[in-house]
Amino acid sequence: MKPPQMPLPKHVAIIMDGNGRWAKKRHLPREAGHYAGMGAVRETVRAACDLGLENLTLFAFSSENWKRPKTEVGALMGLFRAYFRSDMDELVERNVRMRIIGHRGRVAPDIQQMIQDSESRTAPNTGMNLTFAFDYGGQEEIAAAAQELARAAKDGRLDPETITPELFATRLFTSALPAPDLVIRTSGEHRLSNFLLWQSAYAELLFLDTHWPDFDRAALTAAMGQFTARERRFGALDTLDSGAVA
Ligand code: FPP
C-alpha cells in the first residue's frame, strides 16, 4: 500500500541564489544573470498560481546586498522597477496579493512608491500571497520586534510574562502569513543567509544545485513532490512510533 501523501505546502519560501554563477558559466556579466533571474521569478509565480499554492515568498534583496558593487546594486534596482512596471497587471489578473517585507526606508523614493502602489492595488486580491523579501534581514526583523515589545513593556502597556512565541510572531513582518513549511535554496549553498530565521523553525529545507535562472515550472513541481514525500513531525513521534507498544 502507498503511504499517505502529505498535502502541498502552504507556504513556500525561496532563496533565489546563483544568478552570478549562471552568468559566469556563460561568460556573461552578472547583470545578465539577474535579468535571467527575473524571468525565473515570472515563471515561478505563474507555476505557483497554477499549482494552487497559497503563499510564495521570494528573497529578492538582502540587507547585506547593499555591500555589492554600486553598478550591480543599480542594475538590481532597475530590474525591480521593470518588474513592478511590467508584471503588476498580470498579478492583478491572477488575483495575486503582493507584499514586500523588509526595511523599506532605504530604497529610492520611486521604488518605495511603486511598492506602496502595488501593495494597495493588489490588497483586495484573494488568491496567492506573493511576498518579496526586499532589503530584508532576519536578525534585523527579530531585533525590531524585540525592541517594539520592550518599548511596550517599559511604557507599562505589556506584561513581559505574556510574551509567547505566538505574540512575538505578531510583531514580525510576516504576521499575516503562515510560517513557511518549505524553504528552497538554489545553487548548491546549504545556508539560510538570514532569511526568515524565526519563521523557518519547523520548515523542511530543500537545497538544489540548479542556479536560480534555470529554476522553472518543472523544478517547482519536483520540489512540491519532494515535500509531499517527507514526513513532518514537529518534534513529536512519527505515526508508527507513537502507536508502537514497547
Ligand atoms: C542571488 O544571486 C540573487 C540575488 C542577489 C538577487 C535576486 C534577484 C533576482 C532573482 C532578479 C530579479 C528579481 C525580481 C523580483 C524582479 P547571486 O548574485 O548571489 O549569485 P551568485 O551567488 O552565483 O553570485
Query: Are 19 and 37 in contact, with CB atoms under 8 Å apart?
Result: yes
**Nearest C-alpha neighbor of 32 from the set 47, 21, 17, 48:** 21
pLDDT at 8 > cutoff 50 = yes
User: Per the domain annotation, does 234 fall within a domain?
Assistant: no
Mean pLDDT within 6-31: 96
**Is the pLDDT at 111 greater than 70, yes or no?**
yes
Ligand 1 centroid–CA 134 distance in Å is 11
The catalytically annotated residue of 19, 50, 65, 216 is 65
Q: Which atom of ligand 1 is nearest to the CA of 60?
A: 7
- As for how many domains the chain has, the answer is 1
Give the position, in ligand 1's atom list, of the atom nearest the Cα of 134. Answer: 15
Residue 11, domain member (yes or no): no
pLDDT at 246: 33
The pLDDT of 104-118, averaged and rounded, is: 96
Closest alpha carbon to 106 in 58, 65, 139, 147: 65
The closest of 22, 34, 43, 12 to 187, measured between CA atoms, is 22
Residue 8 maps to a domain: no
Q: Which domain holds residue 81?
A: 16-227
97 occurs within a structural domain: yes
To test the ligand 1 pocket, which listed residue (65, 212, 214) has its Cβ within 8 A of the most ligand atoms?
212
| Residue 144 domain-assigned (yes or no) | yes
Residue 224: is its pLDDT beyond 80? yes
pLDDT at position 3 over 70: no
Q: What is the pLDDT of residue 7?
A: 86
**Is residue 244 one of the residues assigned to a domain?**
no
pLDDT tens digits for 30-69?
999 999 999 999 999 999 999 999 999 999 999 999 999 9
* 241 located within any domain: no
197-209 residue pLDDT tens: 999 999 999 999 9
- Starting from the edge strand earliest in sequence, which strands make up the sheet with 129-136, in order? 97-101, 129-136, 55-62, 11-15, 182-185, 204-207
Residue-wise pLDDT tens digits, 149-190: 999 999 999 999 999 999 999 999 999 999 999 999 999 999
| Helices and strands, counts by H and E, the chain | 8, 6
Judge whether 87 counts as a catalytic residue.
Answer: no
The reply to whether 5 falls in a domain is no
Total residues found in the chain within this entry: 246
Confidence of residue 244 (pLDDT cuts 50, 70, 90): very low
pLDDT at residue 237 tops 90? no
What average pLDDT does the segment 15-35 reach?
Answer: 98
Is the pTM for the entire model greater than 0.95?
Answer: no
Look up the CATH number of the domain holding residue 75.
3.40.1180.10
